[in-house]
Chains A and B, each alone.
Chain A
Amino acid sequence: MKRNSLWSWIVLVLAVLYFALPLIGTFEFSLKMRRGVYSFDAYRVVLSDPRFQSTFLYSVTMALCTIALGIVIVVPTAYWVRLKLPRWRPIIEFITLLPLVIPPIVVVFGYIRLYNTSSWLPLTGSAWGTNVLLAFGYATLSLPYMYRAVDTGLRAIDVATLTEAAQSLGASWLTIMARVILPNVSVAVMSGAFLTFAIVIGEFVMAALLSRPAFGPYMQLLGANRAYEPAALAVIAFAITWLCMGLIQLVSRFSKVAPARI
């Protein structure tokens, strides 16, 4: 028993070192911009860079659009599959998993080929159109996470009976979706939303190939030209991801005390 416990500790310490050491190293390096002393100069430079602000704002905006798009596409789909098409569930699950096995570069080349300026829908011909295309691309990338989160949320409630109860009280499909289903899977939707946010903030391939001023390409650009700032940026990006994870934990905890079961 004691021997097992010792091995567990050894494995845990090794795992922590494996994950934490690069982060600690990066953080430590990011503080070395001023010769001889630790300082937050690199962070100051990064945060005051107008390109950081504009690219970050762009990516946050895109993330919010992607989340909205994801909710509009995924929640009704997952709900309808659970309610009326349970036999289709494995097929829909397979489709939602495809973005994990098809590299983003393939997806984006497909987009460019389909929606270039000489195609029937020339989305890449304008900034607005390319933004729309990028939002759809991000929504595709986040599909596995969003669908699974929402589907898990729907599994926790009796979708069919709640729907029938609402119908018998005179509710339309829109009312059922907006006032019964969505509020009851809000925690799951939030989890999916934070994961989507983290994915969009760090995404590089799609934004770079569609030439959009997103945070991912900015990080890459900075990394190719500067020494300390990329380390600071990596720590900031990591902090954003961890913040998202923390928020998922927080809303999940809220769900345990809030009304969510029948």
Chain B
Amino acid sequence: MAFLEIRNIQKSFGPAQVVRDFNLGVESGEFVSFLGPSGCGKTTVLRMVAGFEEPSLGNILIGGRDVTRLKPNQRNIGMVFQAYALFPNMTVAQNIAFGLKVARAPQAEIRGRVDAMLALIKLPELGDRYPYQLSGGQQQRVALARALAPRPKLLLLDEPLSALDAKVRVSLREEIRAIQKELGITTIFVTHDQEEALSISDRIVVMYGGKAEQVGTPFEIYNRPATRFVANFVGTLNVLEGTVMDPAAGFVEVHEEKVSLAGRLNGAKAGDRLSLALRPEAIALGRRPGYDSSLKGRIGEVHFLGSVIRVRVELGDSVVSLDTFNNPSSPPPAVGDPAEISFSSADVNILH
């Protein structure tokens, strides 16, 4: 049994069902991200785990114990909020000590734990400051220390980086991951930022319409999206429409060229329309050894991004984006030039 078990939970607010039949098992020490657009139900699931919302149906078990009906203050869960939520009337040290004081820990233990937490978040000299005297990044690190101080069984992070500027977000997410690994604490991280989720998670739950669309490692989510939504939501994606020509041989016609998808058509019949998805980095401009499929078109747009050049190739009425590395000795292709793109049929994802 997983450390955190979410079993068939549903949540409705009046007539609106915001979470539908959600199941998930999170192993001890795992870092799982809930990724999805606004309103997909990711925060509601997190709030149900925290105890701030009660599921309409289903159960939540932590360490084998059913906590579904427990109050938030009985669950021993640490939580970090988007809005920091530091207590404005308390210093940084008092904020960190709050959970321990509530638990009536001995003074010596509180002092030691506060010092350890301040060292962990690399702000040992700021214990006497008030929250309003700190930057956003510092406040969020203090919020993390406060959540971790009482040694919770589970850490919940509700879009903790959303209110920060881009540079701080990157450094803080790495810091959060490092601290999580150091402490080995089971963590759920809610975000709508795919880069954040891909970069720090052991597994990602992509959510849409109150359901888990796909659960997998960042590699699986990015490279093997299970649904059209996941494919579109995570990363940039090119979608080509194709028609099944020969189901037995696995041939699909795409823009009058034949693409072999042998063994992957899953019972499709001749004449069926298929959506084929390709990541920009899986497509090469020109023929490349090892790439078994190619399509002819014309250069539509060229965007010079420094180390990378993003090229849009027009294939009839569709446009395919691809990235090539900048080569100082050869200029980028010109708009309007004929172009041939190639890719490996193994990199093609058939969207359902």
- Chain A residues proximal to chain B, CB less than 8 Å: 157-158, 161-162, 164-172, 175, 179-180, 183-184, 186, 258-262
Establish whether residues A184 and B147, one from each chain, have CB atoms under 8 Å apart when the complex forms: no
10 shortest interchain CB distances as A-B pairs: A169-B99, A259-B130, A165-B85, A183-B89, A168-B79, A167-B72, A161-B85, A170-B102, A259-B88, A170-B73
Q: Which residues of A contact B90 (CB under 8 A)?
A: 259
Q: Which residues of A contact B99 (CB under 8 A)?
A: 169-170
Shortest Cβ distance from residue B21 to the other chain A in the assembled complex, whole angstroms: 26
- Chain B residues proximal to chain A, CB less than 8 Å: 50-52, 71-79, 81, 83-90, 98-99, 102-103, 130-133, 143, 146-147, 150, 156
Shortest Cβ distance from residue B49 to the other chain A in the assembled complex, whole angstroms: 11
A40 to B135, CA, bound (A): 57
Establish whether residues A169 and B146, one from each chain, have CB atoms under 8 Å apart when the complex forms: yes
Establish whether residues A161 and B89, one from each chain, have CB atoms under 8 Å apart when the complex forms: no
Establish whether residues A164 and B88, one from each chain, have CB atoms under 8 Å apart when the complex forms: no
A168, A172, A259: the one contacting B147 at CB < 8 Å is A168
**Number of interchain pairs (Cβ within 8 Å):** 85
**Known pairs A169-B73, A170-B76, A262-B83. 6 more at Cβ < 8 A?**
A164-B81, A166-B87, A169-B146, A170-B102, A171-B102, A262-B132
A167 to B156, CA, bound (A): 13
Establish whether residues A184 and B77, one from each chain, have CB atoms under 8 Å apart when the complex forms: no
Q: Which residues of A contact B103 (CB under 8 A)?
A: 170
> Can you spell out 18 A-B residue pairs with CB atoms less than 8 angstroms apart?
A161-B81, A164-B85, A165-B86, A165-B146, A167-B73, A168-B50, A168-B147, A168-B156, A169-B78, A169-B102, A171-B73, A183-B89, A184-B87, A184-B88, A186-B89, A259-B132, A260-B88, A261-B88
Shortest Cβ distance from residue A152 to the other chain B in the assembled complex, whole angstroms: 16
Establish whether residues B89 and A184, one from each chain, have CB atoms under 8 Å apart when the complex forms: yes
Establish whether residues A261 and B132, one from each chain, have CB atoms under 8 Å apart when the complex forms: yes
Q: Which residues of A contact B50 (CB under 8 A)?
A: 164, 168
Q: Which residues of A contact B156 (CB under 8 A)?
A: 168
A167 to B73, CA, bound (A): 5
A158 to B51, CA, bound (A): 19
Establish whether residues B83 and A161, one from each chain, have CB atoms under 8 Å apart when the complex forms: yes
A235 to B150, CA, bound (A): 57
Q: Which residues of B contact A175 (CB under 8 A)?
A: 102
A179 to B89, CA, bound (A): 9
Nearest chain B residue, comparing its CB with the CB of A175: B102
Establish whether residues B83 and A172, one from each chain, have CB atoms under 8 Å apart when the complex forms: no
Q: A161-B83, A164-B79, A166-B98 are in contact. Are A259 and B73 (CB under 8 A)?
A: no
Shortest Cβ distance from residue A16 to the other chain B in the assembled complex, whole angstroms: 38
Establish whether residues B87 and A165, one from each chain, have CB atoms under 8 Å apart when the complex forms: yes
Q: Which residues of B contact A164 (CB under 8 A)?
A: 50, 52, 72, 79, 81, 85
Establish whether residues B85 and A158, one from each chain, have CB atoms under 8 Å apart when the complex forms: yes
A184 to B130, CA, bound (A): 13
Nearest chain B residue, comparing its CB with the CB of A183: B89
Establish whether residues B88 and A262, one from each chain, have CB atoms under 8 Å apart when the complex forms: yes
Q: A164-B52, A168-B73, A170-B103 are in contact. Are A262 and B79 (CB under 8 A)?
A: no
Establish whether residues A165 and B81, one from each chain, have CB atoms under 8 Å apart when the complex forms: yes
Shortest Cβ distance from residue B4 to the other chain A in the assembled complex, whole angstroms: 15
Shortest Cβ distance from residue A173 to the other chain B in the assembled complex, whole angstroms: 9
Q: Which residues of B contact A170 (CB under 8 A)?
A: 73-74, 76, 99, 102-103, 150
A175 to B90, CA, bound (A): 14
Q: Which residues of B contact A184 (CB under 8 A)?
A: 87-89
Q: Which residues of A contact B75 (CB under 8 A)?
A: 168
A169 to B156, CA, bound (A): 12
B51, B73, B84, B133: the one contacting A262 at CB < 8 Å is B84
Q: Which residues of A contact B84 (CB under 8 A)?
A: 262
Nearest chain B residue, comparing its CB with the CB of A167: B72
A158, A168, A183, A262: the one contacting B72 at CB < 8 Å is A168
A106 to B231, CA, bound (A): 71
Q: Which residues of B contact A172 (CB under 8 A)?
A: 73
Establish whether residues B76 and A259, one from each chain, have CB atoms under 8 Å apart when the complex forms: no
Establish whether residues A262 and B85, one from each chain, have CB atoms under 8 Å apart when the complex forms: yes
Establish whether residues B150 and A169, one from each chain, have CB atoms under 8 Å apart when the complex forms: yes
Shortest Cβ distance from residue B160 to the other chain A in the assembled complex, whole angstroms: 12
Q: Which residues of B contact A261 (CB under 8 A)?
A: 88, 132
Q: Which residues of A contact B130 (CB under 8 A)?
A: 258-259
